[in-house]
């Protein structure tokens, strides 16, 4: 497959902008397909996946830490989080310094399940990276980061570079 490279600044024309918008839509649509299928078998949804993912990535995070990362409301989160705690995927430990906080950790069961979900996306992304090559991957990162809200970029950077 030959790569399409935009000439001069024509890449800012309507056609090229539509291309990015549409690819983002289609890629995201398929990106969530594999984990969604696994989640459905356990009676979970995409929201559970996000919580498992970010708790796995940031062990010991608090509820408000997750809220500001996911940008959803407390109630949405607490419903999903409650289920994951009830079913033993996540454990809450009272904060040592601030005892109001519940620090969140994956249990072994949670770790195993998260890994299973992650692997499907890992394979998909690894495959895409392989086909596209390292230069393309750098561009992919760069554009995505700049699509993020300007005042969120620092937070996202510190998350992804952890």
Partner DNA sequence: CTATTGTGTCAACAAAGCTGCCATAAATAT
Partner DNA sequence: ATATTTATGGCAGCTTTGTTGACACAATAG
Task: Choose, by CB under 8 A, the member of 41, 43, 71, 100 that binds a second copy.
Answer: 71
Compute, in degrees rounded to 10, the torsion defined by CA atoms 85, 90, 94, 97: -150
21 and 64 in contact (C-beta within 8 Å)? no
Taking CA atoms, 14 is separated from 9, 18, 28, 32, in Å, by: 12, 6, 21, 27
- Does the footprint of a second copy cover residue 108 (CB under 8 A)? no
- Using the minimum distance from each CB to DNA, give the nearer residue, 13 or 74: 74
Beta strands in 14-68 (DSSP E): none
Cβ neighbours of residue 1 closer than 8 Å, sequence gap 6 or more: 131
Task: Choose, by CB under 7 A, the member of 52, 55, 56, 81 that binds DNA.
Answer: 81
Task: Choose, by CB under 7 A, the member of 3, 100, 131, 162 that binds DNA.
Answer: 100
62 binds, among a second copy, DNA, none (CB under 5 to 8 A by kind): DNA
- Does the footprint of DNA cover residue 76 (CB under 7 A)? yes
Cβ neighbours of residue 129 closer than 8 Å, sequence gap 6 or more: 137
| Residue 19-48 contact track with a second copy, rule CB under 8 A, x = bound | xxxxxxxxxxxxx-x---------------
Number of Cβ within 10 Å of residue 43's Cβ equals: 9
- Using the minimum distance from each CB to DNA, give the nearer residue, 11 or 92: 92
Point out which residues bind DNA (CB under 7 A).
39, 43-48, 50, 62-65, 71-82, 92, 95, 97-102
């Amino acid at each position: 497959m030959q790569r399409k490279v935009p000439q001069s600044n024509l890449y800012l024309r309507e056609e090229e902008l539509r291309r990015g918008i549409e690819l983002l839509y289609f890629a995201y649509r398929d990106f969530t397909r594999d984990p969604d299928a696994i989640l459905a078998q356990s009676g979970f949804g995409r929201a559970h996946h996000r919580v498992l993912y970010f708790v796995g990535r940031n062990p010991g995070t608090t509820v408000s830490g997750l809220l500001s990362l996911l940008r959803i409301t407390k109630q949405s989160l607490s419903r999903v989080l409650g289920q994951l705690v009830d079913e033993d995927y996540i454990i809450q430990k009272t904060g040592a310094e601030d005892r109001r906080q519940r620090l969140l950790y994956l249990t072994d069961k949670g770790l195993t399940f998260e890994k299973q979900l992650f692997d499907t996306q890992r394979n998909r992304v690894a495959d895409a990276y392989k086909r596209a090559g390292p230069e393309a991957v750098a561009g992919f990162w760069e554009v995505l980061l700049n699509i993020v809200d300007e005042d969120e970029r620092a937070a996202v950077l510190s998350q992804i570079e952890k």
